């Protein structure tokens, strides 16, 4: 019992010493924080005296922002490098762009899809490719509390494909057209029109490998730009074949670059073995000289890809879209197959600015574990569209409604419709179509949903006869006329219908 009492006394004494020690530490800590507060206040008052410009000038890189934060113990009131605020003065541009995208996507039968900004890092690595700049050096990654390695999306396509499979869209009638828009993140070197947070708007079509859809997405891009008041639009197009047909070509390309290794700047030498096509993206003169003599993908296409590319060029000619074939265009993402393209404009000095780009990604759905599904799409960089709108002092957007819908059935009809479509559009009439939509019934349903006045139908017989059926959606009457008279007939008919609608 006595021993127990002694032991208790000892514990109490020990506890008291511990308490004393804690008190001491707390006192010490209080003193430290007092000192910190004193120091901070002194520095803060110094900073306030500094003009803002001198502070921002010193923000040469990200780590300096971080250092300032630590040094001053206060928030650096500066956006993180490569990120921007959209101020009230610029909101009109954003609003106009949103309106046009919404309108064009409805006209062409696209449904909107929004995916999260954060995805598993592996999703992007698998889709875009481990040996690309985006994955190697530009991806914003972090570990979530769950331990998952996640990333801020550097583009939208991988997420849209993930959602397409995850939500079982594969069973829907093809083609499936999805439109998406939102911020994306790349740890790129900031510069004019190059940010670390920027915005993309993209159109993707799943389930059709007909080259007419490649032409159609390029036409959508063209029409979006025209409705934003942007001119001098040019497409650069190329075909890089399928992953299978590329194998032989890559062997040739690797051998060629190996033979020129000493002439390549050192930073490109590693790419010879990892991703030789990436070397074509190089902008420095030495590299471009070496690339000029390199074998070209277009000369090593498999038979189907060559046919596909030939069809695409024919469709582009029919649509009167201005393009050049750029055999060195490869694009910076590994998922592309066959068609790749970029959309650019030229400034007064003749310098070209890239506003968007895209291509086929026929193997991506399968790569993610879905059924083999051909797909084509493209994205615009919205920030760049706004820059261009400002540069050309683009006029304010006027709301307009398509008044004509063009329906077609069969391959020949599809081809003939393209020219008719271009003729009607060039005469200043806004016309909608759905070249990818199969059944005529579905096309007509869609036409009445759009609320057009006239629907033109080119069926198999009409394609052979060079005629077109014009159906007036208001009066219900229909007439067959020759194709060469179609534009004049449509104009006259629209005038009469407008009068009729007014009278009603």
Residues that bind ligand HAM (CB under 6 A): 155-157, 186, 188, 193-195, 198, 200, 202, 204, 332-333, 354-359, 361, 377-379, 381, 383-384
Q: Please say which residue, 187 or 405, places its beta carbon nearer to ligand HAM.
A: 187
CB of 113 to ligand HAM, least distance (A): 13
> H helices of 108-210, where?
121-128, 133, 157-166
Q: How far is the CB of 189 from ligand HAM (least distance, A)?
A: 9
Residue nearer to ligand HAM on the CB measure, 186 or 415? 186
Of 416, 504, 333, 400, the C-alpha closest to 100 is: 400
C-alpha to C-alpha distances, 158 to 118, 239, 346, 354, nearest whole angstrom: 12, 21, 30, 21
Strands (E), 146-266: 149-152, 176-185, 197-206, 233-239
Residues 294, 187: Cα–Cα separation, whole Å:
30
| Residue closer to ligand HAM, measured from CB, 132 or 227 | 132
Smallest distance, ligand HAM to C-beta of residue 353, A: 9
Backbone angles phi, psi at 357, to 5 degrees: -170, 165
**Closer residue to ligand HAM (CB): 51 or 372:** 372
Q: How many residues does the chain have?
A: 504
Neighbours of 379 (CB within 10 A): 23
Residue 236 vs 384, nearer CB to ligand HAM: 384
How far apart are CB 420 and ligand HAM at their closest, in Å? 28
CB 243 within 8 A of CB 297: no
Output the smallest distance, CB 264 to ligand HAM, in A. 24
How many C-beta atoms lie closer than 10 Å to residue 158's C-beta?
23
Under DSSP, the state recorded for 369 is: T
Which DSSP category does 257 fall into? H
Q: How far is the CB of 140 from ligand HAM (least distance, A)?
A: 12
Please state the closest distance from residue 188 (CB atom) to ligand HAM, in A: 4
For 358, the enclosing helix (H) or strand (E) is strand 352-360
Q: Tokens for 482?
A: 């020759």
Which residue has its beta carbon closest to ligand HAM?
381
User: Smaller CB distance to ligand HAM: residue 376 or 452?
Assistant: 376
Indicate the residue among 164 and 195 with the shorter CB distance to ligand HAM. Answer: 195
Taking a C-beta distance cutoff of 8 angstroms, is the pair 385, 399 a contact? no
């Amino acid at each position: 019992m006595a021993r127990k009492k002694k032991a208790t006394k000892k514990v109490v004494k020990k506890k008291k010493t511990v308490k004393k020690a804690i008190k001491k530490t707390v006192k010490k800590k209080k003193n430290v924080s007092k000192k910190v507060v004193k120091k901070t206040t002194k520095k803060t008052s110094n900073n306030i005296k500094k003009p803002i410009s001198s502070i921002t000038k010193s923000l040469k890189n990200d780590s300096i922002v971080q250092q300032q934060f630590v040094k001053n113990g206060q928030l650096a009131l500066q956006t993180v490098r490569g990120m921007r605020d959209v101020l009230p003065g610029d909101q009109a541009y954003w609003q106009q762009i949103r309106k046009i995208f919404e309108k064009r996507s409805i006209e062409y039968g696209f449904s909107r899809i929004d995916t999260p900004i954060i995805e598993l890092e592996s999703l992007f690595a698998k889709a875009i490719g481990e040996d690309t700049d985006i994955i190697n050096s530009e991806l914003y990654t972090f570990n979530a509390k769950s331990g998952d390695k996640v990333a801020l999306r550097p583009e939208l396509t991988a997420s849209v494909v993930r959602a397409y499979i995850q939500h079982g869209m594969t069973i829907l009638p093809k083609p499936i057209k999805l439109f998406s828009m939102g911020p994306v993140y790349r740890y790129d070197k900031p510069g004019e029109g190059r940010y670390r947070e920027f915005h993309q708007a993209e159109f993707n079509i799943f389930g059709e490998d007909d080259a007419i859809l490649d032409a159609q997405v390029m036409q959508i891009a063209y029409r979006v730009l025209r409705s934003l008041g942007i001119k001098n639009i040019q497409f650069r197009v190329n075909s890089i074949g399928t992953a299978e047909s590329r194998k032989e070509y890559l062997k040739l390309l690797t051998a060629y670059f190996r033979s020129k290794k000493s002439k390549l700047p050192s930073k490109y030498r590693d790419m010879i073995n990892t991703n030789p096509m990436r070397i074509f993206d190089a902008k420095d003169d030495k590299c471009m000289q070496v690339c000029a003599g390199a074998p070209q993908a277009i000369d090593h296409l498999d038979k189907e890809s060559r046919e596909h590319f030939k069809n695409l060029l024919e469709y582009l000619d029919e649509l009167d879209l201005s393009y050049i074939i750029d055999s060195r265009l490869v694009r910076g993402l590994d998922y592309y197959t066959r068609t790749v393209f970029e959309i650019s404009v030229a400034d007064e000095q003749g310098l070209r600015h890239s506003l968007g780009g895209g291509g086929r990604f026929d193997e991506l759905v399968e790569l993610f574990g879905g059924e083999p599904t051909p797909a084509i799409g493209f994205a615009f960089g919205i920030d760049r569209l706004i820059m261009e709108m400002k540069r050309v002092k683009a006029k304010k957007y006027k709301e307009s409604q398509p008044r004509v819908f063009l329906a077609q059935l069969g391959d020949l009809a599809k081809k003939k419709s393209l020219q008719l479509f271009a003729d009607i559009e060039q005469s200043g009439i806004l016309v909608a179509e759905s070249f990818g939509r199969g059944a005529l019934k579905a096309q007509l349903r869609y036409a009445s949903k759009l609320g057009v006045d006239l629907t033109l139908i080119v069926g198999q017989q009409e394609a052979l006869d060079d005629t077109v059926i014009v159906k007036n959606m208001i009066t219900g009457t229909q007439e067959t006329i020759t194709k060469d008279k179609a534009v004049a007939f449509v104009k006259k008919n629209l005038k009469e219908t407008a009068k009729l609608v007014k009278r009603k």
